[in-house]
Structure 1
């Protein structure tokens, strides 16, 4: 049995990459992932990638931030240390809208940064996981899971017909920078 985990088709041009995706999908070859050094418009729809749910996460982080700061201010100004300043109420809501807004933005920004690092496994100090190092520079890569898939020779032929410059059979999942 082959130790190949992934078959990589490397392309020079994004149009050839899109053509390669079409050919693979027409031949019912499931694509593991596509790596590109730049954004390619329309590739999400072609690969069937769903819309991101990060907007919901951002909304929840904002709600948590607004609630936390509003609760802290209410507790401090009404229960913990109420002050009588000129007969004004202890907790006048309009006075605290700016700081509530700022904390909402702060919690959203930090929450989204942590969510991004968690979702992409790009924690600070960790070596990035890439299929081929040239995918970050000048090559467009289609990765196909080789285990239990169409015969490797057929996949190689499809990629060559689509215009792949190079075809690699990886026995490891990721390449490190070291």
Structure 2
């Protein structure tokens, strides 16, 4: 099995988007696309599934809300009830209006911090990880599409030149 990939380099995001659509229509497998900035519609053109991070954010928010509601109940009602400003501390529902800002902030805190951790783990980005950028120009002004070679190499190179690539290279991975 060949470990070769084609690096097709483009200098315009619209040309890249059209090339991705043509590549998918020709049933070539796109390994990765490297861009210097987010390209609107690229994920849909590549056929990537929608992210499920929003579901995680909701679950993390519910977790934070539950933890903070139970924490407030234990601290302010069960463990050490105090008469603050003449408000009774006999039941959670009687003090609920005072607890709402704290529970809201706890919800946001949990959702935000756990989302960042989830994103880093899901993206395999951890401290001291080496960059996986195949061409330094993709951090400045060029776009790179990486496609696995399965079949005729010369035919694939000419296909990408016809899609508007300014440079096409075959790389052994």
The TM-score normalised by the length of structure 1 is 0.84
Distance 1:22 1:77, change over 3 A: closer
- On the 8 A contact 2:19/2:164 being kept in 1, the answer is yes
Distance 1:87 1:103, change over 3 A: closer
Q: Deviations over 1:111-156 (max 9, x none)?
A: 111111112122233222223222121111111122xx13211110
Tell me if 1:93 matches 2:92.
no
2:63, 2:161 → 1: CA distance?
Answer: 52
Tell me if 1:160 matches 2:161.
yes
Task: Number of aligned residue pairs: give it.
Answer: 169
2:99, 2:88 → 1: CA distance?
Answer: 14
- On the 8 A contact 1:66/1:101 being kept in 2, the answer is yes
Tell me if 1:9 matches 2:12.
no
List runs of 5+ in structure 1 lacking aligned partners: 173-178
The TM-score normalised by the length of structure 2 is 0.86
List runs of 5+ in structure 2 lacking aligned partners: none
* Coordinate RMSD, CA, aligned: 2.0
- On the 8 A contact 1:57/1:112 being kept in 2, the answer is yes
Question: Residue 110 of structure 1: which of 106, 110, 113 is its match?
Answer: 113
Q: Which runs of 4+ in 1 moved over 4 A?
A: 84-87
2:21, 2:49 → 1: CA distance?
Answer: 18
2:98, 2:2 → 1: CA distance?
Answer: 69
